[in-house]
Structure 1
Amino acid sequence: MLSRTADCLFWLGRYSERAGNVARGLAATFRMAMLARPLSADDEWRSLLIATGSEPGFLAKHSHVTPEAVIHWLALDMDNPSGIAACVEAARRNARTVRTALTVDMWEAINDTWIEFRRLDSAVTRGDRLPGFLDWVRSRALLFNGAATDTMLRDDAWRFVHLGTMLERADNTARLLDVRHAAFHPDAAGDAASYAQWQAVLRAVSALRAYQHVYHARLQPQLVAELLLLRQELPRSLLACYRNVETVLEAIADANGGTRGECHQLAGGLHARMRSGEIGGILNDGLHGFLTQTIDQNFELGQQIGRQYLDGQQA
């Protein structure tokens, strides 16, 4: 496979996943802000900017953090490369470039989303319309993932799409937890505010029901962190994501002469770190440090994948 084609497929997976993740984060923050006091509500929106990695760009354009400005920045502002609008545009651009490598269902999922998005007016993120818009974005990301899973041959095209999706998903889970790491400290107060934060994290990754199924218990910070970090049953846990990343990279190497590079070592190290992790030790040593290191290594892994297989990093 040409590196340019692999690059487009990889970023198609990342941008599609990123759009859905931003919608999830917006929905969880919108719910939290409605429950919070005015001052803490502002903190919720700032935390979302940090979690999406777009706070510097936002502050370069806006002097104050307000719900309206944050929602527009993350949903509709094309100046934000991590926003939903920019991700939909970039996903469609990459899909169009490698149209013949996609199935009909994948192309229609991406193209129809792009067409419908361009028809939306700016009022779609205001007031009572916001939850419906965010549900629509999430459903379109799920539709694309389902089309890829159900219709693609398990060849290199599938592997690079899946690789991008899993790498983006791991980054999102780590960032969601990191921005609320104080609520998971062993000495944190188990008050209503903390409980709401644990619930918000689970809702952002659609894992509230999964938590109840696995643990049959009230929300506890140690168990919430364990589910999102170390439980392989959860598709969005770091362990599940890095297991898939390592497996896919090994399959790509085997299908292309067996040559391996730094990206394979990094992926194996991240997977091993999660597989051998123990949640008590992680929390005692500091969740923030653990997640910061993971986010940095995830970024480096993306860079090394680009050097090994892709034409060039996009964003």
Structure 2
Amino acid sequence: MLSRTADGLFWLARYMERAASVARLVQVGNRMSNMSLSLDNPGNEWRSTLVATGTEPGYLAKHGEIVPSLVLDYLVLDPENPSSIVSCIETARRNGRAVRTALTVETWEALNETWQQTRALKADRLAADSLPGLMDWVAQRSLLFCGTYANTMLRNDGYLFTHLGTLLERADNTARILDVKYHVLLPDHEGVGGVLDYYQWQSILRAVSALRSYHWVYHDRLKPWLIAELLILRPEMPRSLVACLAHVVDLLEALAVRYGGQRGECHRLAGEIHARLRYGRVEDIFQFGLHEYVTQFIDDMLRLGQEISGFYLNVR
């Protein structure tokens, strides 16, 4: 496969997953903010959301201060923000169009229909009564895209690069959701610190579709160290960091086999990150510092993406 085609598939998948990631982060910020206001305890939820999406510098350069309505517009509709939902879907569609012949009809139609409907979005969809439905729609469109390529693409190198892009972005997203309000997840001697803390923990689990999974696995009330363990170290949780990295390692190995057995730093680094997760303990994570651990993981994922691009794609 031409490196340019592989690159287009890789980034198409990353940007579709990123659009859903931003939608999930907006959902977390919105739920936390609403709960804080209802308890007359306003916090910095929207600043945390900007930090988690990596868009705080760009937002402050444009708007100067944190205003919820402006944050929502910047994260969802602003074409000048390359990480806004609209921009992500636009970029995904541009990449998809460039590699149209490598996509199945169903995958292209799912992508193109999402793009067409996104272009028609108006600011009134960011109103309080419409926002949750819109964010759910974005997440569902991303799932539709993943479902179409997973169920219709040949299991060749095109599929491998597409799925690799999805999983790298998904792992990064789970880490960022954990970091939206990392201090809320720090344990205290009483476990649950009140209604607000409980609701915020619940919002984080809902954002990664893990609330029911948590209760299935632990049969216990929400506890911060168990939430962190589920989203970082439990391999049966499909969006956990360890589950995503296990698949990344397998995909890179499959690519190495297809390309003459050649391996590079990306293969070594992916294996190293996965090993740390596979043999990690939640007690050690909290001793190190959850925020510090998640930040290091996000940096590792950035480096891994760069190594994959340098070794296989070599066009960016």
The TM-score with structure 1 as length reference comes to 0.96
Deviation at 1:148, TM superposition (A): 1.2
Determine the structure 2 residue equivalent to 1:259.
262
What does residue range 122-201 of structure 1 map to in structure 2 within 5 Å? 122-187=123-188, 190-192=192-194, 193-201=196-204
Question: Could you tell me how far apart the structure 1 residues matched to 2:219 and 2:22 are?
Answer: 29
Deviations 1:127-174, CA, capped at 9 Å, x for gaps: 312122111111101100111111111111111111011000111111
Q: Which residues of structure 1 form unaligned runs of 5+?
A: none
SS at 2:44's partner residue?
A: helix
Between 1:22-31 and 1:96-105, the stretch displaced more is 22-31
Deviations 1:110-129 (A, max 9, x none): 00011111122221112312
Matched to 1:114, the amino acid is: W
Displacement after TM superposition at 1:188 (Å): 6.8
SS in 2 for 1:252: helix
Deviation at 1:41, TM superposition (A): 4.0
- State how far apart, in whole Å, the 1-side matches of 2:187 and 2:151 are: 42
Gap change, CA 1:136 and 1:179, over 3 Å in 2: closer
Q: Supply the distance in 1 between the matched residues of 2:184 and 2:31 (Cα, whole angstroms).
A: 17
Distance 1:4 1:48, change over 3 A: same
After superposition, the Cα gap between the structure-2 partners of 1:187 and 1:106, relative to the gap in structure 1 and judged at 3 Å, is same
What residue in structure 1 maps to residue 215 of structure 2?
212
Describe the SS at the equivalent of 1:154: coil
User: Which residue does the alignment assign to 1:275?
Assistant: 278
Note if 1:35 corresponds to 2:35: yes
For 2:177 and 2:313, the matched residues in 1 are separated by 28
Find the counterpart in structure 2 of residue 20 from structure 1: 20
- Partner Cα distance (2:141, 2:60) in 1: 29
User: Contact between 2:45 and 2:181, CA under 8 Å: does it hold in 1?
Assistant: no
Q: 1:81 corresponds to which residue?
A: 82
Distance 1:135 1:271 in 2: 30
> Secondary structure of the equivalent of 2:263?
coil
AA paired with 1:6?
A: A
Q: In the alignment, which residue of structure 2 is the partner of 1:286? A: 289
Q: Distance in 2 between matches of 1:40 and 1:90?
A: 38
**TM-score for the superposition, normalised by structure 2:** 0.95
The 8 Å contact of residues 184 and 283 in structure 1, kept in 2 or not, is answered as no
Task: Note the C-alpha offset of 1:42.
Answer: 4.9
1:298 maps to 2:290: no
1: CA distance between counterparts of 2:11 and 2:211? 29
The aligned amino acid for 1:12 is L
Offset at residue 59 of structure 1 (A)? 0.6
Given that residues 160 and 251 in structure 2 are in contact (C-alpha distance below 8 angstroms), is that contact kept between their aligned partners in structure 1?
yes
The residue that corresponds to 1:64 in the other structure is: 65
**Distance in 2 of aligned mates of 1:47 and 1:40:** 16
Instruction: State the shift of 1:312 in Å.
Output: 3.1
Tell me by how many angstroms 1:214 deviates: 0.9
Report the Cα distance in structure 2 between the residues aligned to 1:178 and 1:129, rounded to whole angstroms. Answer: 26
2:243 to 240, 244, 255: 240
- Write the distance in 2 (CA, Å) between the matches of 1:305 and 1:211: 33
- Residue aligned with 1:37, SS: helix
3-state SS, counterpart of residue 36 of structure 1: helix
One-letter amino acid matched to 2:11: W
Counterparts of 2:189 and 2:162, CA distance in 1: 39
Residue equivalent to 1:110: 111
Answer yes or no: is the 8 Å Cα contact 1:42–1:67 preserved in 2: no
> Which stretches in structure 2 are left out of the alignment for 5+ residues?
none
1:71-116 Cα distance to aligned partner (Å, 9 max, x none): 0001000111111000010010000000110111110010001111
Q: CA deviation at 1:28?
A: 2.2
Distance 2:94 2:43 in 1: 35
**Structure 2 residue 250 is the aligned partner of structure 1 residue 223:** no
2:10 aligns to what? 10
Shift in CA distance, 111/304, structure 1 to aligned 2, threshold 3 Å: same
Q: CA RMSD in A?
A: 1.4
Equivalent-residue separation in structure 1 for 2:186 and 2:133 (angstroms): 34
Judging changes above 3 Å, is the alpha-carbon distance between structure 1 residues 188 and 294 closer, same or farther for their aligned structure 2 residues? Answer: farther
| Counterparts of 1:149 and 1:21, CA distance in 2 | 19
Moved more, 117-126 or 185-194: 185-194
CA distance, structure 2, for counterparts of residue 226 and residue 3 of structure 1: 37
Residue 36 to residue 107, structure 1, CA distance change in 2 (3 Å): same
